[in-house]
Amino acid sequence: MRVGSDGPAASMSSRQQSQPDPAARLLGERLRRLRLQRGVTLSEAAVTIRASAAKISRLERAATQPKARDVRDLAAFYRAGREELAEIEYLLSQSSNGAWYTQYSDVTPDFLKRLIGLEQGAERIIMYEALVVPGLLQTREYARAVISAALPMDAENERRVALRLDRQRILRQPDRPVLTALLDEGVLHRPRGGRRVMRRQLEQLLALGQVPGTNIRIVEFVHSGDVSPPYPITHLRLRDGRPAEVVYVESIGSATYLTRPEETERYRLVLNRLMEQAASRKRTEELLREAIEKYR
């Protein structure tokens, strides 16, 4: 790859810079929701910050870097409440700071960048997976097998693997989130990457389950039929100054983010039912050890 100003590297750099920051995108969505709730048009909002309707639109789409004064003036004009203001201030601070994952912008879809950004500020994460080990718990070889199964083999797959492993840094930081991973029993019997790769992945799950603040539980077949949704769910409870909680529901090529209390409550109930039916820690260890032996 040439690195001249008109070569492929230059065009890749411009694409990276054009990618909206996850915090800026969430900030824009929050401002748009407030504006619509108050019945304010783009033109009316623009008068508040002495700008054009097009600028308000760009701000809401995260197509321009948000300015603190504009954001605060708009929040005041929209009569944002105390919790809403706290969320806006946090997102504003995050959108002005560079993030480690921006180096992977060219291989990371926007919906995933938003999740990674939220993971950085989570105090508790509860996730359910029916088909694969969650990305935060994957080994390098297992991640490579999962990514290669979903995407054609190309030169960027190793960078996608590196991103997945880098995401796991939140589990090693001093203020790491409390993590609960609920896995359908089928995950243990689906040997991604072959027997050796699967055995090492299960050994890692067994070891991570011993780490304080990390809770790995298997939902056995006998119980999963009545309580398991056919899609992965991630629930994040965020630290003070952030939106209270976010639910992330992923599908092929896209994802949905839910923040309204009535929406997050519905998915929280689903996760609670899964937790009630999941095997105990001791039984989960037994299931993992049995599966490990099967792959020897």
Picking from 95, 122, 147, the residue at the C-terminal end of a domain is 95
Q: Is the pTM above the cut of 0.85?
A: no
pLDDT tops 70 at residue 17:
no
Cα 85 from Cα 246, distance rounded (Å): 17
**How large a percentage of the chain has pLDDT more than 70?**
88
pLDDT of residue 100: 66
Residue 80 in domain: yes
Which of 210, 229, 233 is closest to 285 using CA atoms? 210
Two structure tokens written together for 104: 């992977």
How does pLDDT run across 149-177, given as a tens digit for each residue? 888 777 788 989 999 999 998 888 777 89
Same domain, 31 and 113: no
Picking from 46, 67, 95, the residue at the C-terminal end of a domain is 95
How does pLDDT run across 269-293, given as a tens digit for each residue? 999 999 999 999 999 999 999 999 9
Same domain, 188 and 64: no
DSSP classification of residue 255: E
Residue 27 in domain: yes
Same domain, 79 and 170: no
How does pLDDT run across 131-146, given as a tens digit for each residue? 999 999 999 999 999 9
Cα 289 from Cα 233, distance rounded (Å): 26
Segment among 12-16, 100-104, 220-224 with least mean pLDDT = 12-16
Residue 68 in domain: yes
> Which has more confidence, 16 or 33?
33
Residue 265, domain extent: 109-136+166-294
Same domain, 228 and 264: yes
Residue 104 in domain: no
SS3 295: coil
Same domain, 176 and 59: no
How does pLDDT run across 77-115, given as a tens digit for each residue? 999 988 788 888 877 776 655 566 667 777 778 778 878
Which of 74, 80, 84, 85 is closest to 47 using CA atoms? 74
- CATH code for the domain of 39: 1.10.260.40
Same domain, 31 and 67: yes
Task: Show Cβ contacts of residue 207 under 8 Å, excluding neighbours closer than 6 positions.
Answer: none
SS3 46: helix
Same domain, 84 and 189: no
Residue 157 in domain: no
If one counts the domains in the chain, the total is 2
- Identify the band that residue 22 occupies on the pLDDT scale cut at 50, 70 and 90: low
Picking from 62, 95, 128, the residue at the C-terminal end of a domain is 95
